[in-house]
Structure 1
Amino acid sequence: MDIDRYLGPGHGTTALVTSYGLAVADAAVRRAEGERFFEEKEHLAGKLTVRWGAPYRVGLQTVRLRTGAEEIPEPWAELSLRVGEMCLWRAEEHGRWVALGVADLDPYDEIQLLLVVTETDPP
């Protein structure tokens, strides 16, 4: 994966992989496919770890809870509604945060493997 093409200014969220048909699939099928997405996330995390070291493992549940009481900056507010946990690296040479996560919290939506690049510090 050529991560450098995503390291431009501001922030961006890219779906690297999106499921098809899981929004209406049987729960067992969705769960099995979700596991495949998490395996793919860990595979890509291994590649990024070679470049930037071990990731921070960041749970977004508390961020999700905080969105009701305070202003959470993007992309973190939206991500907290879609992703339970992210692998997070600081790409110092680019002044950016790079994160990988599986958007699977909404059972009525497709599952996505997300790559996030942002200048905004996590809350």
Structure 2
Amino acid sequence: MDIDRYLGPGHRMTALVTSHGLAVADAAVRLAELERFHARKEDLAGQLTGRWGDPHHVGLQTVRLRTGTEEIPEPWAELSLRVADVYLWRTEEPGRWVALGVADLDPCDEIQLLLVVTDTDPP
């Protein structure tokens, strides 16, 4: 599933890279490709760090768990269901966040390198 979604006022989610055929691939093939996606994430994170400084490394498991009992604002609710953790920068533009992560939580779906830009503070 390729995405470039406007998720509502003040946020957008884009798949920078999407695997093809991994939803039905052998587990070893998927794992090797997952490692490549994480390497791409690290490369891009280095470039973004040069622009905005060191990122926060944020695990999304607690956000994912909280979606069952409370309303989590977008894009954080959807992101937490797809990505285990993100690099997170606050940009020079007041109130704007950039998150970068690898969507790999659903083994029946393709792997994606996701970039999210939002005005919504992380929960």
TM-score, L = length of structure 2 = 0.91
Root-mean-square deviation (Å): 1.0
Aligned residue for 2:69, secondary structure, equals coil
Alpha-carbon shift at residue 92 of structure 1 (Å): 2.7
Which amino acid in structure 2 is aligned with residue 42 of structure 1? E
Pair 1:12 & 2:12 matched: yes
Equivalent residue pairs, number: 115
In 2, distance between residues paired with 1:75 and 1:103? Answer: 14
User: Which ranges of 4 or more aligned residues in structure 1 deviate by more than 3 Å?
Assistant: none
Farther off after superposition, 72-81 or 86-95: 86-95
Partner of 1:109: 109
Partner of 1:48: 48
Alpha-carbon shift at residue 39 of structure 1 (Å): 0.4
Pair 1:100 & 2:100 matched: yes
TM-score, L = length of structure 1 = 0.91
Which amino acid in structure 1 is aligned with residue 48 of structure 2? L
Unmatched 5+ residue regions in structure 2?
1-8
Alpha-carbon shift at residue 117 of structure 1 (Å): 0.1
Pair 1:39 & 2:66 matched: no
Q: CA-to-partner distance for each residue in 1:33-63, whole Å, 9 max, x for gaps? A: 0010000000000000001100000000000
In 1, distance between residues paired with 2:12 and 2:44? Answer: 18
In 1, distance between residues paired with 2:113 and 2:78? Answer: 15
In 1, distance between residues paired with 2:48 and 2:12? Answer: 17
Q: Is contact 2:95-2:121 (8 Å) kept?
A: no
In 2, distance between residues paired with 1:79 and 1:92? Answer: 23
Alpha-carbon shift at residue 10 of structure 1 (Å): 1.0
In 1, distance between residues paired with 2:92 and 2:81? Answer: 27
Quote the sequence identity (%).
80
